[in-house]
Structure 1
């Protein structure tokens, strides 16, 4: 493994130079960035996957949809379509991508769209939907849009100051770009993370004086859900369970299930994996298949005994109120 990392170091250096040059050209105005009348909230990270962006977008939708006409705009990573796609009842996961499809399935009353060109997507939303607020999913690196408010996520135990550029590490952007965030959320924290430990992490992140640093943990749903209904997670203790994951880091889920006393046969796949016919055939030979909510969007209707376990962010201390109040302040019309 160490030898592989050494081989990747020159590539990481070149990648880092390209990233820094690109950001510099945006900083000095050579590359143009756009602002919009509609308030926008960006949710993103500096690394590839595994920080909880989709659950954070769902958290924001859940807490803001009653007082705002919300639209979610995503790139739609891994989708098989091109350009602009607006989610409608008959839109497939292949057209939207798994994460936007999951959000639209859970919140069909809001607008969900995908477009690799966020500026283009925002203009269409403004012209056709006129939302009060647009949530930009995984858009921190999309410098062509200047968001009204930016939330940067970094995972506990894998903080961006301790990471390196791809392919040696998981960084896809320079660590200093964290300065553009209004709030840094340390996700996947232990629920009992002490104040002293939080202070040490803040010192490691070195936020600007105007930046907030908040802490959240991921809470798993106590109910397992599927097309045939739902039942308590504890009911899986006496069953033969196959866990299928196509996410960046299944470690926390495996740990949670082990702590709950649930033994699983784990079949891991890459992030955003689109399952093949032979893989589906294999899953259908199993007594019960458990998966993540994101993977469920790609497997439902194709696997018989299929269930998923949902997750959501839970902020430590008063983090929830602090974040929502900050968003409200920064996204006021005319600000």
Structure 2
């Protein structure tokens, strides 16, 4: 029924596509102006709604360039209840700065992280205090002219029709791939049929000359909120609650399902703010599990869970890491370094 309703909205998707195409064309023709800056401005983004792995890519890039240059991370701070420009501190709460910027600040303490919905205004404020700016989720922010753009696609989305909102999940059509300097197909299987890989590359090459990379997500060691490591194999006989507020928790479930005795899933929307009622529901489910039980969540979600909750119940989070596939990591790293250093 829901699928039928979405396809009934196809005329609205056509109208939406015409509007977004017209807006982009006005920027392409310089009839609408983009602001540029005299320092490297590197943008990470996607054409679809969330779930392509932008935050793991931000972290991957910081690992590459942090030894070389002073980089400030700029995000809109999606999900925060505040407005305007703010510096992110390790002691902040996600509700004030957003879960992903807080996660990045806590992992990369040496980097300045700021949030602001007006990216141009934010860069004006920080441009004399940094060597470069890395923007999370700003590919559609045409008021800003980046020096380098990294476009992400979820692997599985490229095996389906690309349909814009409200029928599909895409904010722009594949035509806008032409603005990318690098394209990364994220969340790819480590082994891809050559025919499938070639079909994806050919589909993207119709719209862009950018080099195309494939990356996979790898799950790291389980951590407590105090960052104490625990091997997942220790929990083979445990019953687990998988608690998520992310766009697509299915891959994490598939990773964990054979590593614990049973999994009870509790799914909330992406960037969900956990209410007292939510926490009581989770605690009730936990209490009704058999003995030997834990809660597993994501690194993004642990930023939003209250500290007293994660201390009260045995709660672990599982970091993820982005890996470039098919022996292309050196080429990818080289292009990223040039993006930040050769401006």
Class of the TM-score when normalised by the shorter of the 2 chains: over 0.9
Q: Map 1:166-315 onto structure 2 (within 5 A).
A: 166-206=165-205, 210-227=209-226, 229-260=228-259, 263-285=262-284, 286=286, 287-303=293-309, 304=312, 305-315=314-324
Is contact 1:149–1:327 with CA below 8 Å preserved after alignment? no
1:93-114 deviations in Å (ceiling 9; x for gaps): 1111011011011111110001
Alignment-derived partner of residue 104 in structure 1? 105
Is contact 2:162–2:170 with CA below 8 Å preserved after alignment? yes
Alignment-derived partner of residue 122 in structure 2? 121
Shift of 1:194: 4.5
Q: Counterparts of 2:34 and 2:170 in 1: how far apart (Å)?
A: 23
Alignment-derived partner of residue 17 in structure 1? 18
Alignment TM-score, normalising by the size of structure 1: 0.93
Shift of 1:161: 7.3
Contiguous gaps of at least 5 residues in structure 1 = none
Is contact 1:280–1:302 with CA below 8 Å preserved after alignment? no
Q: Counterparts of 1:232 and 1:54 in 2: how far apart (Å)?
A: 24
Is contact 1:51–1:188 with CA below 8 Å preserved after alignment? yes
Q: Which moved more, 1:9-18 or 1:131-140?
A: 9-18
Q: Counterparts of 2:174 and 2:208 in 1: how far apart (Å)?
A: 17
Q: Counterparts of 1:262 and 1:240 in 2: how far apart (Å)?
A: 5
Shift of 1:208: 5.8
Q: Counterparts of 1:90 and 1:259 in 2: how far apart (Å)?
A: 36
Q: Secondary structure at the match of 2:156?
A: coil
1:36 aligns with 2:37: yes
Q: Which moved more, 1:101-110 or 1:276-285?
A: 276-285
Q: Secondary structure at the match of 1:299?
A: coil
Is contact 1:46–1:160 with CA below 8 Å preserved after alignment? no
Shift of 1:195: 4.3
Is contact 2:178–2:209 with CA below 8 Å preserved after alignment? no
Q: Counterparts of 2:107 and 2:171 in 1: how far apart (Å)?
A: 29
1:331 aligns with 2:332: no
Shift of 1:35: 1.0
How many residues were matched structurally? 332
1:52 aligns with 2:53: yes
1:243-267 deviations in Å (ceiling 9; x for gaps): 1111111111111112445531001
1:262-289 deviations in Å (ceiling 9; x for gaps): 5310011111111111111222342422
Contiguous gaps of at least 5 residues in structure 2 = 287-292
Q: Counterparts of 2:306 and 2:96 in 1: how far apart (Å)?
A: 15
Q: Counterparts of 1:204 and 1:259 in 2: how far apart (Å)?
A: 35
Q: Secondary structure at the match of 1:321?
A: helix
Cα distance change on mapping 1:332 and 1:8 into 2, 3 Å: same
Q: Counterparts of 2:277 and 2:208 in 1: how far apart (Å)?
A: 54
Shift of 1:150: 0.8
Cα distance change on mapping 1:60 and 1:330 into 2, 3 Å: closer
Cα distance change on mapping 1:196 and 1:155 into 2, 3 Å: same
Q: Counterparts of 1:40 and 1:79 in 2: how far apart (Å)?
A: 24
Q: Secondary structure at the match of 1:243?
A: strand
Is contact 2:93–2:303 with CA below 8 Å preserved after alignment? no
